[in-house]
Amino acid sequence: MSLSELRCFDAVAQTGSFSEAAKFLLRSQPTVTIQVAQLEKQYGMELFHRKRGQKIVVSDFGLQLHQITRRLFALERDAITYLKNGSDLTTGHLRIGASAPNMPTRFIPSFKELYPGVHVSLVMGNSQAVLDDVEACRVDIGFLGGSGDFSNCYSLPLLRPEIVLLAHVNHPAAKRGVISAEEFSSETLLLREKGSETRELFMSQLENSNYKPKTTIEISSREGVCTAAGAGLGLAIISMDEILQGFGTKIVRFQDFSIFGQTQVICLKERLDSKMIRTFLNVADTKVSNIPVDLV
């Protein structure tokens, strides 16, 4: 049995005529007749009652089979419609991974405005987790910091946010907004977990400077370091585009140097042909070019 044979049967059952079925399928009548005959012969079933000079009649067995083929080809039409809508981005699901919510939320509204029928979901994790999710196709697009070697991925650079310290509002350095190497040597530094690009960039810069903290505490989330800084446990390192409000903190910068990160959006190179992914990247590229330079 072939799908072509079932299609010919369905068309004959629907139109009540081999010649009309041939017109409907844009095939020759002999082709349609042979296809139906092969189906009947293979299974030893009479699908139509044929009498010379009279209209063909669908057999009882044929009527039951037609109930199935009607559903089958209706589902086929639904699949074609779904694929067409997906290619037009009138439907579908875009999965985004991000190391911080502030960055993707700059671009998602613009994408949704153009394609409101596309469902968008956002999964949070550190930069390494986002990269792993992109490479495993658990997400379609990833927003993350750093400028690492993403050999399997296409990368679109976005912004260069400053990496700063967060301190409790009453911390002496918070009142001035800067901290010296001598002052920093008596501080506790609140670090993100390993795998955080902000942490890696920050620690790399410190190794090349005379700024050394008295001690460090590792905390496994952005919310955690903000909470700890707000509680006065130490100074938290954080990217400017990741700062969370409402924790009673203020920004502190180093007296002698500044650190800037790199945020980017990535996808697997072999998935660049996906219309949904490519369209989102185009939206991000267009929008970031319109962000004022003093915010980059």
In the prediction, which pLDDT does 198 show? 80
In the prediction, which pLDDT does 148 show? 64
Please indicate, yes or no, whether residues 167 and 235 belong to a single structural domain of this protein. Answer: yes
In the prediction, which pLDDT does 149 show? 66
All residue ranges of the chain with pLDDT < 50 are 292-296
Please indicate, yes or no, whether residues 115 and 205 belong to a single structural domain of this protein. Answer: no
Domain count, the chain: 3
Please indicate, yes or no, whether residues 98 and 62 belong to a single structural domain of this protein. Answer: no
Q: Mind listing the pLDDT tens digit for each residue in 165-176?
A: 999 999 999 989
In the prediction, which pLDDT does 277 show? 92
Please indicate, yes or no, whether residues 216 and 237 belong to a single structural domain of this protein. Answer: yes
**Residue 8's domain is classified under what CATH number?**
1.10.10.10
Q: What is the DSSP string of the chain?
A: --HHHHHHHHHHHHHS-HHHHHHHHTS-HHHHHHHHHHHHHHHT---EE--TTS--EE-HHHHHHHHHHHHHHHHHHHHHHHHHHHHTTSS-EEEEEES-STTHHHHHHHHHHH-TTSEEEEEE--HHHHHHHHHTTSSSEEEEES----TTEEEEE---PEEEEEEETTSHHHHHTEE-HHHHTTSEEEEPPTT-HHHHHHHHHHHTSS---SEEEE-SSHHHHHHHHHTTS-EEEEEGGGPPSSSSEEEEEESS--EE--EEEEEEGGGTT-HHHHHHHHHHHHHHTTS-GGG-
Domain end call among 59, 87, 115? 87
In the prediction, which pLDDT does 230 show? 92
Please indicate, yes or no, whether residues 106 and 191 belong to a single structural domain of this protein. Answer: no
Tokens 């994790």 sit at which residue? Answer: 125
Please indicate, yes or no, whether residues 122 and 245 belong to a single structural domain of this protein. Answer: no
Domain end call among 70, 87, 104? 87
In the prediction, which pLDDT does 293 show? 37
Please indicate, yes or no, whether residues 140 and 219 belong to a single structural domain of this protein. Answer: no
In the prediction, which pLDDT does 53 show? 66
Domain end call among 55, 71, 87? 87
Entry pTM: 0.64
**Residue 132's domain is classified under what CATH number?**
3.40.190.10
State residue 22 phi and psi, 5-degree precision.
-60, -40
In the prediction, which pLDDT does 295 show? 38
Structural domain of residue 192, as residue ranges? 162-260
Q: Mind listing the pLDDT tens digit for each residue in 128-165?
A: 889 999 998 899 999 987 666 678 899 998 888 888 99
Please indicate, yes or no, whether residues 141 and 277 belong to a single structural domain of this protein. Answer: yes
Q: Mind listing the pLDDT tens digit for each residue in 211-243?
A: 899 999 998 888 888 899 999 999 998 888 778
